[in-house]
Amino acid sequence: MDNVLHSRDRGDRADRRVAHEEADERLRLLADNLPSAATYQLTRDERGRPRFLYVSRSIERLHGISADEVLADGSALFNQLPPDYRRAVFEGERESLRRMKPFRGEFPAVLPNGEVRWFEMSSAPRLSSDGQVIWDGIEIDITARKRAEAEMQRLLEREQEAREESERRRHALERVTESRARLMRGFSHDVKNPLGAADGYAALLEDGILGELTDRQLESVRSIRRSIRNALRLINDLLDVARAEAGQVVIEHVDIDVATVVREVADDFRAQAEAVDSRIEIRVSGPLPATTDPSRVTQVLANLLSNAVKYAPGCRIEVRAELRREQEGPRRGEWITVSVADEGPGIPPERHEHVFLEFTRLDPDAQRGAGVGLAISRRLARMLGGDITLVSEVGKGSTFTLWLPLSPVSQAAVPATQ
């Protein structure tokens, strides 16, 4: 019976030993096959030099040196660290030993082939049965993460530089805008006021208050007044450009009849049109009530008619105002449209948007115009909740159309159409 029990006990011990060996083998295979990590057991000899008691064979994939080399010479692994990081690891281990707390650190290593990789090392100290301090640890390759962090930092720095540059440009633009606004205000005082006084004296001559004039003299005075009004209109446009850039344009909302405004503006330009053998024809379908800014509508229409007279001499100019209902598209709904059509030379399709740029003319060599009328007109039209569109064909003329909502529209709701 005793023999049977002893035999069974030996068998149980053998089974447990085999089970432990199999478990150890599984753990060894797991550690050896880790794709980007290695496990180790580390201690220090009596002179403080690193000595590895165990290191998984995956260390070779990480550091380019075999586990046998690391076990034979612990310094071989630490020598891959730059001096500053090597000292940091030693200091970290010393503090870990003093407090018997886990140690964690990140460091670069220069492999035998010159490649630089980053690793994260985590280890925990314990005392062995013979009083020796052993660190059980794991080392993970974090090169990809560090590269991603470096790239992210580079992008953040570039973004910060871009923001700072944008801020510098914004401040510079604000200074330029304010300087131009000051210049325009001074220009208004120094030039606009004397022109207004000159127009006043010319009006006295035209009305015969200062004495009767011959027909030729009267026509000369009227020509002077037209030139003064054109100059004043240009000055007002320039002032509005500066005000618009500074956000200082004021829009009023008044109940008006757009048809009446159209007739008044057209009548003001009849003499100027006749002077260049052009004629203005008005097509208005009844009253066109709207809530808008009459002075801005007048300014926009005056610019459109002025351009038609200026660039299409000797032609018929048709001004048409009507109520229009759009069934679809960005302008769906009811609008009042005022179109100024001429039979002039027309504008090439690729230049249609060009004419709405500030200080830009179709013909840079031409002496006519400063290139601000259409730019400020479109800006004002959009501030009124509408827009200006252009239809033109070379050799057949151009049609500029002012779109006005029947009631005030917030600027954010205006369709961004071109």
Least confident span in 98-107, 229-238, 365-374:
365-374
Assess whether pLDDT exceeds 70 at residue 371: no
Cβ atoms of residues 338 and 258 within 8 Å: yes
Q: Which domains does the chain have, with CATH numbers?
A: 22-141 (3.30.450.20), 159-249 (1.10.287), 253-418 (3.30.565.10)
Alpha-carbon gap, residue 340 to 317, rounded angstroms: 7
Cβ atoms of residues 119 and 58 within 8 Å: no
Q: What pLDDT, in 10s, does the model give residues 34-51?
A: 778 999 999 988 888 899
pTM for this model (two decimals): 0.53
Which residues make Cβ contacts (< 8 Å) with residue 128, sequence separation at least 6? 134
Half-sphere exposure of 298 (CA within 13 A, CB side): 16
SS3 state at 111: coil
Confidence label for 320 from pLDDT (cuts 50, 70 and 90): very high
Q: Is the dihedral of CA 222, 224, 230, 233 positive or negative?
A: negative
Q: What is the mean pLDDT of residues 50-65?
A: 93
Amino acid in position 173: L
Please choose, from the candidates 28, 154, 137, the residue with its C-alpha nearest in 3D space to the C-alpha of residue 93: 137
Q: What was the pLDDT predicted at 402? A: 97
For the record, the structure tokens of 267 come out as 């009548």
> Pairing relation of β-strands 333-341 and 316-326?
antiparallel
Confidence label for 367 from pLDDT (cuts 50, 70 and 90): very low
Cα of 383 vs its chain's centroid, Å: 22
Q: What is the mean pLDDT of residues 193-218?
A: 83
Least confident span in 75-89, 91-105, 307-321, 402-416:
402-416
Cβ atoms of residues 372 and 358 within 8 Å: yes
Least confident span in 97-111, 163-177, 217-231, 379-393:
217-231
Quickly tell me which residue has 């003319």 as its tokens: 361
User: Which DSSP string do the residues of 303-362 spell out, in sequence order?
Assistant: HHHHHHHHHSTTSEEEEEEEEEEE-SSTT-EEEEEEEEE--SS---GGGTTGGGSTT--S
For the record, the structure tokens of 44 come out as 């220090």
Quickly tell me which residue has 């057209």 as its tokens: 266
Q: What pLDDT, in 10s, does the model give residues 331-361?
A: 788 999 999 999 989 999 888 888 888 766 6
Cβ atoms of residues 55 and 39 within 8 Å: yes
